[in-house]
Amino acid sequence: MMSDTNRLIVLYGSQTFTAQEVAERIWRKTKILRFKGPVQAMDDYPISRLIQEEFALFVCATTGQGDEPDNMKKFWKFLLRKNLPANSLVKMKFGVIALGDSSYSKFNFVGKKLHKRLIQLGATPLLNIALCDYQHDLGHDAVLIPWTKEFFIKMQDYFPNQTTNTLNTQFIPRWQVSLIKNEDCQNGHNLNKDIYYANGLRDNFLNTHHLEVEQNSRTTHDTHFQDVRLITFRTTEDDKVDYSPGDIFNIRPRNSDEDINDLFDIFDSHNIDIKPHYRLLVQECHDDMPVPDFLKEPLTLYELAEQYWDLRAYPTQYVFSLLALVSDDKLERDKCMELSSPEGQEDWLNYSRRPKRTVLEVLHDFHKSTSKLTIEIIFELFCTIKPRSFSIASSCLTSRGTRIDILVAVVKYYSKLKKPRLGLASNWLKCLRVGDKVYGWIKMGSLKFPTDTKTPQILIGPGTGLAPFRSLIQDMAYKGLAHKDVLHLFFGCRYEHKDFHCREELLRLVEEEKLSLYCAFSRDQEDKIYVQHKIKEYSQDLWHLINDKGAYIYISGNAKNMPDNVREAFIEDVFSKEGKLDLDQAKAMLASIERDGRLQVETW
């Protein structure tokens, strides 16, 4: 069978813009193969046209407790309409790429739901769903690259004249870019505006607030290795915020002066004529890849380097394919080609991902290739800075909608490289000073607390996992509903006197009998004690709360080992030991509680 059109739509649902970037990568392949069709957020696509589409590729992330991203909600709601005939999409052949993280219990839940629903509406999958896992050594690419290759091979059944042999040999820019080398703004005018919101631009689904830093204090002792910040943002009286316990604060970080200066020093050292005050004109060159609103006004290269390009990102294999494209040094070009090839994935892992080497460090290492960079390649070389999400750590009620607190662990660690690895967002937040202005927005969180305020709540939040529970506790205290029989907080850290966040506040609430607090200080004694050990210690009380009082369980914090260890403690020490259940029954009970929404997890 051969179609009479070469239209292929690529629709994405993205919470952190990763799905959008994947969709744009696929779009490059569609252009090389001469397919036509839009690349759009699902909610931006005119869904009434869907029944006419013959070929579609969907890229979607999963958020919260298995929820769809904001820019997919309208699309998904339409697909769920009961009055849609079962043959609505009978013309469509499709593929679904799901982007997820297997450390979450509802791994790729949205992608799986979408794949199933499309089949229910009569569409035919060209391939089984791609379940991409960020936890894999290769990240999402471990599944994405071979799956995408197979997808376009399947498309050849319908378009036999298309060949996939050239997929990795052509450079397809998203937009046409050119430099405006005016000398009028060398003094730095307008270099500190926010490129996303300075002109009143807004994302369709975001309610953005202009905030001022009121406080930025360290909650850990100066001698402690980990710097954790409690940061308070203040709004204006006419721009109050509205949020509930469990909600999320989003903010887009900026690059450091050190990294920005390094970038322009690289340009200078190679005599690349790109100056901070030059402006970049971005114009449309493909009908199906419109220029975003905030890029339509020419921006200075400084603004792009500060706010748009992620200078601390770890370079993908695509970065090395771009360097190979411009390099005229055989040794470097061959190495870049190897690092960008499927056969060179292990070398790419060892060079780039495992040591967390940044894209700027790569430009230093491959200096001969770097010297040949053009503005067209540079613009595609860097991925964009993505917004970061933080659980709100305060109650909206206590400040009457004028303040937001977040609790931030500053990321600094060492790999085999000499220079420390620094998290972009946390180190930028750390350096914010009182009075600094930023833009941020609030999103409804995934944690849902019981409407019956007398229902006991077991809150397990070691480290910065305390944040959403501090919001809840403050909220209930303000309403006069906080009580030690209702709020049971399990907090863990290393040392009682070094990293016990909000210590005085929590101990005061205990004294006032508004909170029951169970602390695990892992390094204050020879044997390490974690929150799961405290769960075992108080297993009898917890069984009574869960079995007799209908308590809810909430887990918040680092996704690495803690959530699984806590689950095991409830299964083995609470349900099995105290509930007299065998292991299978105990696991079934935990699963049942989770299905009913009485166990909820928010980890990062």
Span(s) in the chain for CATH 1.20.990.10:
175-204+256-381
Question: What distance in Å separates the CA atoms of residue 540 and residue 538, rounded to the nearest whole number?
Answer: 6
Contacts of residue 376, defined as CB under 8 A and 6 or more positions apart, other chains included, come to 173, 177
Using CA atoms, how far apart are residues 143 and 313, in angstroms rounded to an integer? Answer: 21
Q: Is residue 220's pLDDT more than 60?
A: yes
The mean per-residue pLDDT over the stretch 517-530 comes to 95
3-state secondary structure of 416: coil
Which residue has better confidence, 162 or 594?
594
Q: What is the share, in percent, of the chain residues with pLDDT greater than 90?
A: 75
Helix, strand or coil, per DSSP, at residue 234: strand
| Residue 57 and residue 8 in contact, taking contact as beta carbons nearer than 8 Å | yes
CATH 3.40.50.360: which residues of the chain? 9-155
Q: In what order do the strands lie in the sheet with 228-234?
A: 388-391, 248-251, 437-443, 208-218, 228-234, 403-409
Pick the CATH number of 209-236+389-443 from 1.10.150.170, 2.40.30.10, 3.40.190.10, 3.40.50.800: 2.40.30.10
CATH architecture designation of domain 175-204+256-381: Up-down Bundle (1.20)
Q: What is the pTM for the complete model shown?
A: 0.91
> CATH 2.40.30.10 residue ranges in the chain?
209-236+389-443
Taking Cα atoms as reference points, which of 180, 172, 171, 381 lies closest to residue 273? 180
In this predicted model, what pLDDT tens digit does every residue of 530-589 receive, in sequence order?
999 999 999 999 999 999 999 999 999 987 889 999 999 999 999 999 999 999 999 999
Cα separation of 385 and 196, whole Å? 12
Which pLDDT belongs to residue 559? 78
Q: Which two tokens stand for residue 526?
A: 């020879």
Question: How far is the C-alpha of 65 from the C-alpha of 104, rounded, in Å?
Answer: 9
Give the C-alpha separation, 409 to 329, whole Å. 42
Pair type for strands 130-133 and 412-413? unpaired
Nearest to residue 218, comparing CAs of 525, 364, 426?
Answer: 426
* Every domain range in the chain assigned CATH 3.40.50.80: 457-603
CATH of 9-155, one of 3.40.50.360, 2.60.120.10, 3.30.565.10, 3.30.450.20: 3.40.50.360
Instruction: Specify the DSSP class assigned to residue 309.
Output: B
Give whole-number Cα distances, 598 to 118, 521, 552, in Å.
30, 27, 4
SS3 at position 458? strand
- How many angstroms separate the CA atoms of 132 and 142, rounded? 7
Instruction: Report the b/e string of 407-436 with b at 16+ CB within 10 A.
Output: bbbbbeeeeeeeeebbbbbbbbbbebeeee
Range scoring the smallest mean pLDDT among 33-47, 119-133, 186-200, 266-280: 186-200
**What CATH number was assigned to the domain covering residues 457-603?**
3.40.50.80
Q: What is the per-residue pLDDT across 52-89, written as a single tens digit (0 to 9) for each?
A: 999 999 999 988 778 888 889 999 999 999 999 999 99
CA angle, 169 then 170 then 171, to 5°: 135
Contact 589, 546 (CB under 8 A): no
- How far is the C-alpha of 458 from the C-alpha of 190, rounded, in Å? 50
Distance CA 489, CA 205 (A): 34
Condensed to tens digits (0 to 9), the pLDDT of residues 374-387 reads 999 999 999 999 99
Question: What's the confidence (pLDDT) of residue 2?
Answer: 41
